[in-house]
Amino acid sequence: MKSQSRNISKIGAPALFLAVVLISVAVKIGFVMLFDSGLDAFPGEGSDNIFYHTTAVNWLETGVFGDKGGIPTVGMPPGQSAFLALLYGVSGGSFAFARLAQILLLSLVAGLTFLTGKALFGNAVGFAAGLLIAVDPAHAYLAATFLSEPLFIFLMCLGIYFLVRQRVRSHWAWLVGAGICFGLAGLTRNQGWLFAGFLTLAAIVTRGRFISIRRALVGGIFTVLVIAPWTMRNYFVTGEFVPVSSEGGLTLWASNNPEFEWRQPMPMSLEIYRLPDTIQEQEVDAYYRARALEWIRAHPAQFLLNGIRKVIVLYHFDPLSARAEMSALFRLAGLIPYGLTLPIILAAIVTQWRDARLWLFYCYILFTTLLTFVFWGDSRIRAPIQPYLYLFGVLGLRQLIVWWKTRRRDDTAPLTEH
């Protein structure tokens, strides 16, 4: 292992970065060609593909964010639709161009994983972690869709890398960059701006031990500045304060209701999701949220039990899928290579907690776990933290090899007379 590490260290970082990205691109294109309908076709997987596509087309044609003609909506974050609209506008509506862009985003995530590991632990650790995420089936599946995860994961990984660079070499520009990334990620999925707030809270609770309160606030301020224009737009549309989107109420109810067991009841056309005939669009989020909170207050023990189940599914190598047609792909995504490395990942997470260089990743993993406890988890929800889980796995493997070599030396050392 040590000789292999030395050999990898001799290779330049640009070459290793390029190798990780190219391997990732090859795996994801292969996935599209083997398991989907090819680059030129509209993605066959992804439940929200139609919304993002339709909204992007409407945005280009009418200049209004919404999936129904020129009618504005605040139901979903705008990031993925804006990204697709940009890709369609540049390419003349080419599906192949848009799909390659999705593939590139998650391939750059593999490159960022390498750069993050390299900055903290050297080329060998960074390359191994980057290679694991490059061949990860869950990321390959997401890259084959028009879902928001590729853009969200890229922006979050870039923001976290900026914070890592800030730790290695302090400069205010890294904090600004991280805040902008978390803001853009928040415009793609609400977790982005929520993480910026969670990071500030963690800095306050730990009294700045892994990131100073001032630095966390700088990043948080720029996150708020990025989403503020969209928040104002939402106010003009609805007359209410909606930071990014109003999807949270439905998501909360889908995960906390009398029919929930391990996973949310599907499909969304079930009776449990039926809305009153008189309800207005701007009231939908509050309606579902009120129902969810009412159920949680009435069934606290069941809420806690379901929360534990959600976390188990998040980290399980064979997560339960509510959609039968997805079971095989979810199982593949969970087992290879995540399931194979899961024991080492867990061992490293438990044993490496004193290493302050890793506290940022602990914070992100804890944030995702807490959200999962309230909502739900599977390999798709786990995908944003997968790069850092693999980084822990590589560190755990390195620790295991060092321990094994030390033990062998002790066993074979000649006995000395006293």
**Cα 303 to Cα 257: distance, rounded to the nearest angstrom:** 9
Per-residue pLDDT tens for 26-46? 999 999 998 888 999 999 877
**Residues of the chain above pLDDT 70, percent:** 92
Q: Is residue 328 part of a domain?
A: yes
Q: Kindly state whether residue 25 falls inside one of the protein's structural domains.
A: yes
Same domain as 140, residue 103: yes
**Chain Cα centroid distance, residue 261:** 24
- Enumerate long-range contacts of 266-273, CB under 8 Å, 24 or more apart: 266/322, 266/323
* Domain total in the chain: 3
Does 418 reside within a domain? no
Distance CA 61, CA 89 (A): 10
Helix (H) or strand (E) holding 173, with range, is: helix 172-186
- Say whether both 253 and 368 belong to one domain: yes
How confident is residue 6, by pLDDT bands cut at 50, 70 and 90? low
> What pLDDT digit, counting tens, does each position of 174-226 carry?
999 999 999 999 999 999 999 999 999 999 998 888 889 999 999 999 999 99
Task: For residues 180 and 235, state if they share a domain.
Answer: yes
Distance CA 244, CA 76 (A): 8
Residue 126 sits in which domain range? 13-147
- Is 102 in the same domain as 139? yes
- Give mean pLDDT, residues 122-145: 95
**178, 166 contact by CB (below 8 A):** yes
Say if 341 falls within a structural domain. Answer: yes
Q: How far is it, in rounded angstroms, from Cα 350 to Cα 146?
A: 36
Looking at the fold, whether 285 and 301 belong to one and the same domain comes out as yes
pLDDT in the model for residue 326: 62
pLDDT band, very low/low/confident/very high, at 418 (cuts 50, 70, 90): very low
Q: Is 160 part of a structural domain of the chain?
A: no
Burial (Cβ within 10 Å: 0-12, 13-18, ≥19) of residue 68? exposed
- Which of 131, 147, 163 delimits the end of a domain? 147
Instruction: Using the 3D structure, point to which of 244, 269, 302 is the last residue of a domain.
Output: 244
Domain membership of residue 179 (yes or no) is: yes
Average pLDDT of the chain, as a whole number: 91
Residues 34 and 92 placed together within one structural domain of the fold:
yes
On whether both 222 and 108 belong to a single domain, the answer is no
Predicted confidence at residue 240, as pLDDT, reads: 87
410 within domain boundaries: no
Residue 409 within any structural domain of the chain: no
Question: Per-residue pLDDT tens for 97-130?
Answer: 999 999 999 999 999 999 999 999 999 999 999 9
Do residue 209 and residue 190 come from a single domain? yes
Residues 311-354 have pLDDT tens digits of 998 998 876 555 555 667 777 777 888 988 999 999 999 999 99
Picking from 385, 386, 381, 377, the residue whose alpha carbon sits closest to that of residue 337 is 386
Closest CA to 393 of 361, 349, 362: 349
Where is the domain boundary, 228, 244, 260?
A: 244
pLDDT tens digits, 353-407 = 999 999 999 999 999 999 999 998 888 899 999 999 999 999 999 988 888 888 7
Sign of the torsion angle spanned by Cα atoms 111, 152, 395, 328: negative
Instruction: Give the pair of three-digit tokens for residue 121.
Output: 């632990």
Residues 123 and 260 in one domain: no
DSSP assignment of 198-213 equals HHHHHHHHTTTSSS-H
Question: What distances in angstroms separate CA 56 from CA 68, 78, 102, 146, 236, one per listed residue?
Answer: 11, 9, 15, 11, 21
The answer to whether residues 380 and 274 belong to one domain is yes
Tell whether 390 and 253 lie within a shared domain: yes
pLDDT at residue 411 in the model: 65
**Is the same domain home to 120 and 180?**
no
Counted residue by residue, the chain has a size of 418
- From residue 198, alpha-carbon distances to 27, 32, 201, 237, 354 in Å are 34, 36, 5, 28, 21
